[in-house]
Amino acid sequence: MAIMKRWQFWLGLAISLVFVYWVVRGLDWLAFWEALQTARYGWLIPGVLAYLLAMWARAWRWHYLLQPIKSISTAKMFPVVCIGYLGNNIYPARAGEVLRTVVLKRKEGVSISASLATVIVERVFDGVVMLAFVFLNLPELAQVNRASGFVGDIQSLAVWGTMGFVGALAIFLLAASFPQQAAGIGRLLIDRVVPYPLRERVIGMMTTFLQGLESLRSPAHVWMVFATSVVIWLLETCKYWFVMHAFPFEVSFFGLMLMNGIVNLATTLPSAPGYVGTFDTPGIAVLQAYGVDQALATGYTLVLHIALWIVPTALGAYFLAREGVRWSDALRQEAMEKPANQ
């Protein structure tokens, strides 16, 4: 497959293998298998339902962000969001984020650059909320694990992450509030770094990208997107909480908020498709910091990961077929290469 030749694939695979090695190093395999055999898998049902609610909330948030460009109902956005999950889960480099903008263009005629701007805004708000989860729960983690350097490492990660996400959010808010000035600065940069034959095309992409930031011009809209992001991540933490009841350990909801934030920050790293290793290793580390046995933490995290992979991937595949969009080489290539055609 052509995708195998991409350096992103091999880099992600190498990083995943390192993380997987950290997981299995010193693992008590007998205790691990016992944890899997004795788990009460009925608790996966409410966990999956909470995850589906979070996915629906993501579809509503995207519908809200796209309103200044085109009003598309949440019911129509939900299948496209699921298709994006499918792409993220089976291809590296978060190809699903671009894939859903490609599908949206084909179905609704929304410019890829404009919808991609809203996707990036989503990720920035997600990052801010995840870091808030981390900061909110660091004092509790410090109390249960004072002797470990793990807390200090997470604090450093949170500080640098906050600087990055908050800085990106500030830039987007300024660009949305002062679109003409932002466009002027963008044109100056394009004139300096982009070859002349490509300038008009790149300027067009920039213009439609700035249109995708229109929802951030209103403070009320910004707070609405932020509040929705908080709801999404609380629902995702509920999923962690429900699945925890399948295993014989207990961590506070706040502890699971911390785990959720750290795990999802780690999955921003390059990895093999499906976030192999980058999802599991930090989650297990957080649970161990709370005193959960390694084998039990590994069993829980593995079951959680598989459940989170299967459900959106299956839904994405179903909607891809139902919507009449073929998972063809042309579509995959279009998504992987972040096309400039509008």
Give me 247's structure tokens: 């295993």
| Contact between residue 202 and residue 190 where contact means Cβ atoms under 8 Å apart | yes
Residue 56 lies in a domain: yes
Kindly report the CA angle at 317 between 312 and 319, in degrees rounded to 5?
A: 90
Q: 321-328: long-range contacts at Cβ-Cβ below 8 A with a sequence spacing of 24 or more? A: 322/79, 323/79, 323/83, 323/103, 323/107, 325/83, 325/103, 325/106, 325/107
Tokens linked to 331 = 């579509």
Q: How many CB atoms lie within 10 A of CB 144?
A: 14
For residue 13, being part of any structural domain is answered with: no
pLDDT of residue 325: 67
> Which pLDDT belongs to residue 4?
47
pLDDT for position 1: 43
Q: 36-89 pLDDT, tens per residue?
A: 999 999 999 999 999 999 999 999 999 999 998 899 999 999 999 999 999 889
Collect the ranges in the chain with pLDDT lower than 50.
1-4, 147-149, 329-330, 336-342
Check if the beta carbon of residue 194 is closer than 8 Å to that of residue 202. yes
Q: What is the pLDDT of residues 227-253, one digit of tens each?
A: 999 999 999 999 999 999 999 999 999
Residue 33 forms part of a structural domain: no
**pLDDT for 341:** 44
pTM to 2 decimals?
Answer: 0.85
- For the chain, what is the domain count? 1
Residue 334 pLDDT: 53
Q: What pLDDT sits at residue 229? A: 95
What pLDDT score does 27 carry? 93
How confident is the model at residue 153, as a pLDDT?
A: 64
Contact in structure between 237 and 260 (CB atoms under 8 Å): yes
**pLDDT of amino acid 199:** 81
d(C-alpha 251, C-alpha 233), whole Å:
17
pLDDT reported for residue 313: 95
Count CB atoms within 10 A of the CB of residue 305. 18
Q: By residue range, what is the domain housing residue 68?
A: 38-336
In a domain, 25, yes or no: no
Does some domain include residue 282?
Answer: yes
Q: Is 7 contained in some domain?
A: no
- Determine which helix (DSSP H) or strand (DSSP E) holds 111, and give its type and residue range: none
Q: Residue 273 gets which letter from DSSP? A: T
Q: Alpha-carbon dihedral of residues 116, 282, 153, 288, nearest 10 degrees?
A: 150
Determine the pLDDT at residue 3: 46
In a domain, 17, yes or no: no
Q: Identify the pLDDT of residue 327.
A: 57
Does some domain include residue 76?
yes
pLDDT at 227: 94
